[in-house]
Amino acid sequence: MEEKKVVLRDLLLKHPADIAEVLSHLSDEQASDLLHRLYLRRAAAEPLGEMEPEESAELLSELDRTEAIKILSRMDPDDAVDLLEELPEAEQRKILSSLGRKEAEVLTDLLAYPPDTAGGLMSPEVVALSLNMTAQEAIDLLRRRVEEAETVYYAYAVDEQGQLQGVLSLRDLALAQPETRLSSLLMREVISVPVEADVEEVARLFDKYNYYALPVIDSERKLLGIITIDDVIDVIREEATEDIYGMASVPIEERVDTTWLSSLRMRLPWLYVRLGTALLAAVVVGVFEETIAKVAALAVLMGVIAGQGGSAGMQTVTIITRGMALGELEPRRGWRLLAKEALLGIVNGLVIGATVGIITYLWKGDYLLGVAACLAMLFVLVVGGVAGVAIPLGLRGLGKDPALASGIFLTTVTDVLGFGFLFLLARLFLPGFK
């Protein structure tokens, strides 16, 4: 915005991530003009690889196709695929058919893997060494391949069938005596990632083992590619954003700089979903309209009681779904968690129920109303705790993402049951209804 005229020479000295930042702050026209000038200096591919794929795809489609194709072929294949995935299929096919045959093949293979799996994350540009090389021969090979390889901090050794046999770090290689054979430097116990593994599982492996890169293999242990830790950081941040957004029913594509019209289109459907669940709870209240007309204090209590159930339940939901995301929740623990949360619900319910019961009695001087408030609070806190475990576990059992929908289900359950139980108690207990 500030920088009306970007001086190309200064810009070229910067890190590609900084150039990417400049590009995404310019107007569409200025950005495509700058990208064109970067292209002429062979400096367009790297910054594009640093941008969000939606952004880079939009920017690239502003250029004429021959330029776009040249830039794409200079990008790292994993970044190029992320970008291609954002384009309409017809455009994808046109670009793939204009690329060199080998390049097109690599990209077509990568496009076949779902984006949220190890295959969608990996780069195929991995150097495979053979077991009987010496350290020096390996270094010489890596030196020749340094330009295209995704990383040479690790190198993997394969047998004649292409099956992964071991790993060695460039550190070990560079620091070893030159004539040492790879087979004696090799670590045979390689942590590897199955190509179909979920990205969350990949993130957990990196988090646990602290490696900078992991090899990706197919079901026959053939080496397919490599995933580097910097790509995993993006995944972890994105997964966290997804989970946080899920809790508040925010559409996953929205960011602070989304235009208001797109925000409206994305948020309104969610607000209608919420409205639907709120109306469900309202129907319960509506059924007891007469009861409320007689004892208006119930209208005061109902929000407090159902709200506490929702709050306590959301604490449970949050701990369970986060535990799942971090891989800390062992599947067979379901029953123990349920028992724990039920117990917590009872104790919390007695303590908070007594508090609310006493406040109600002090306010209205009606001890039966106080007892009703206390019991309803106890009930709704147990419901919140139990539903807080059952809903996310149930959603996961059905193959759904528990972070996305648990909150809506939970508050519906605590509202409906909380209101219903309070009003039922009132009808049973309070003298006016006898």
Residues 353-392 that bind its own copies (CB under 8 A): 355-356, 359, 363
Within a 10 A sphere around the Cβ of 29, how many other Cβ atoms? Answer: 9
Nearer to its own copies, 48 or 69 (CB): 48
In whole angstroms, what is the distance from residue 99 CA to residue 104 CA? 6
Tokens linked to 285: 């209240």
Nearer to its own copies, 92 or 315 (CB): 315
Name the nearest CA neighbour of 103 among 86, 128, 84, 90.
84
Name the nearest CA neighbour of 81 among 17, 125, 140.
125
Nearer to its own copies, 245 or 361 (CB): 245
Please report, as residue ranges, which positions from 387 to 426 form the binding site for its own copies (by CB under 8 A): 415
CA distances (Å), 21 to each of 1, 25, 26, 99, 347, in order?
Answer: 12, 6, 9, 28, 52
Please report, as residue ranges, which positions from 307 to 346 form the binding site for its own copies (by CB under 8 A): 307-308, 311-312, 314-315, 317-320, 322-323, 326, 328-329, 333, 337, 340, 343-344
Structural contact between residues 291 and 427, judged by C-beta atoms closer than 8 angstroms:
yes
Tokens linked to 152: 């040479």
DSSP code per residue over 257-324? T--HHHHHHHHHHHHHHHHHHHHHHHHHHHHTHHHHHH-THHHHHHHHHHHHHHHHHHHHHHHHHHHH
* 90 residue type, one letter: A
Nearer to its own copies, 112 or 268 (CB): 268
Q: Binding of its own copies at residue 265 (CB under 8 A)?
A: no
**Residue span binding its own copies (CB under 8 A) among the ranges 28-36, 55-63, 252-260, 394-402:** 252-260
Nearer to its own copies, 49 or 119 (CB): 49
**Residue span binding its own copies (CB under 8 A) among the ranges 33-41, 63-71, 87-95, 271-279:** 271-279
Which member of 247, 354, 358, 424 binds its own copies (CB under 8 A)? 247
Q: Binding of its own copies at residue 427 (CB under 8 A)?
A: no
Nearer to its own copies, 163 or 311 (CB): 311
Q: Binding of its own copies at residue 8 (CB under 8 A)?
A: no
Please report, as residue ranges, which positions from 70 to 129 form the binding site for its own copies (by CB under 8 A): none
Tokens linked to 226: 């490599």
Which member of 22, 111, 131, 282 binds its own copies (CB under 8 A)? 282
Which member of 62, 116, 125, 254 binds its own copies (CB under 8 A)? 254
Q: Binding of its own copies at residue 244 (CB under 8 A)?
A: yes
Q: Roughly what angle, to the nearest 10 degrees, separates helices 367-397 and 334-364?
A: 160
Name the nearest CA neighbour of 247 among 317, 331, 175.
317
**164-169 and 154-158 strand pairing:** antiparallel
Q: Binding of its own copies at residue 193 (CB under 8 A)?
A: no
In the complex, least distance from residue 313 CB atom to its own copies, rounded to whole angstroms: 9
Which member of 245, 366, 371, 427 binds its own copies (CB under 8 A)? 245
Name the nearest CA neighbour of 429 among 295, 251, 241.
295
In the complex, least distance from residue 343 CB atom to its own copies, rounded to whole angstroms: 5
Q: Binding of its own copies at residue 227 (CB under 8 A)?
A: no
Q: Binding of its own copies at residue 233 (CB under 8 A)?
A: yes
Please report, as residue ranges, which positions from 119 to 178 form the binding site for its own copies (by CB under 8 A): 139, 142-143, 146, 152-153, 170-171, 173-175
Tokens linked to 230: 């910097």
